[in-house]
Every structure is written in C-alpha cells, then in structure tokens.
C-alpha cells in the first residue's frame, strides 16, 4: 500500500477485472470517441488488439490464438 501511494503517474485500480484472459479492440472500446486521425497519431489502428492475460495455462492460450489465426486464412 505504501509503495502504491508513492506512485505519481500510475494510479491504483480497485479491480483489474477477473482472472480470465480478455481481449478488446481499443478503436471500438476505450478510444471509440477519439477521431480516426488522432487514433492514428497515437498508434491505435483499427486492427490493434489489447490482450490482458489471465491465469489460464499458457499452452491453452497459445493454442486458442493459433486456432483463431488459422480460421482467418
């Protein structure tokens, strides 16, 4: 707690969500109200994905990502 209170830029979060891995696309979620020009300048392309890794088995996560990429072909 003391360490977190000494941070200046990083803010403590009440919750980081669940323990499961999640994925989202910032262009239609967190940055949906930002113009496409500003998103581009910030490096937030329409195909950028944000992956928050949970506590699942790493091999299961890799397998899931690989199968999703294979289905895209």
Which pTM value belongs to this model? 0.69
Residues 70, 73: Cα–Cα separation, whole Å? 6
Q: How many angstroms separate the CA atoms of 7 and 44, rounded? A: 26
How many other C-beta atoms can be found within 10 angstroms of the C-beta atom of residue 51?
11
Is residue 20 a contact partner of residue 56, using CB atoms and an 8 Å limit?
Answer: yes
Q: Strands (DSSP E) along 2-70, which ranges?
A: 22-24, 50-52
Q: Tokens for 58, please give them.
A: 């790493």
Q: What is the pLDDT of residues 22-72, one digit of tens each?
A: 898 999 999 999 999 999 999 999 999 989 888 999 999 999 999 999 987
Q: Which two tokens stand for residue 19?
A: 């323990």
pLDDT value at residue 15: 65
């Amino acid at each position: 707690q003391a360490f977190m209170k000494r941070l200046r830029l990083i803010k403590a979060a009440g919750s980081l969500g669940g323990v499961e891995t999640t994925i989202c696309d910032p262009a239609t979620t967190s940055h949906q109200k930002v113009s496409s020009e500003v998103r581009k300048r910030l490096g937030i392309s329409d195909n950028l994905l944000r992956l928050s890794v949970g506590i699942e088995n790493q091999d299961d996560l890799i397998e899931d990502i690989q199968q999703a990429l294979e289905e895209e072909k």
